[in-house]
Amino acid sequence: MNERIKELAKAYLVHERYTRYGEIVEEDLYEFYPDELEKFAQLIVEECATAITEDALAKDCGTFMMDSYAKGMRYSAHLIKEHFGVE
């Protein structure tokens, strides 16, 4: 899991402390209720769409080719959000 996903999931982080084989173990766990899992998935999809549209090349519309590329990137972000039902 990359660092950005961990950052997004921090809201759902639960620190557990328990005994395993006589030793005290502490670890971070992620627990989601169904509605929280849906929200987390929406955050991931939004982050992916933003990564595409915020790409430096997608913002550079100085030439016809770059304008076409930028439009394609924005359309790709739209398709990703539509595919996952994220508005």
pTM of the entire predicted model: 0.61
**Dihedral sign, Cα of residue 76, residue 82, residue 47, residue 31:** negative
Buried b (16+ CB within 10 A) or exposed e, 15-50: eeeeeeeeeeeeeeebeeeeeeeeebeebebbebbe
Tell me the residue range of the domain where 17 lies: 3-84
pLDDT averaged over every residue in the chain? 79
Residue 66 vs residue 49, higher pLDDT? 49
When divided into structural domains, the chain yields a total of: 1
Beta bridge partners, 35, equal none
Q: Which has the closest alpha carbon to 51: 30, 69, 73?
A: 73
Number of H helices, E strands in the chain: 4, 2
Residue 1 vs residue 15, higher pLDDT? 15
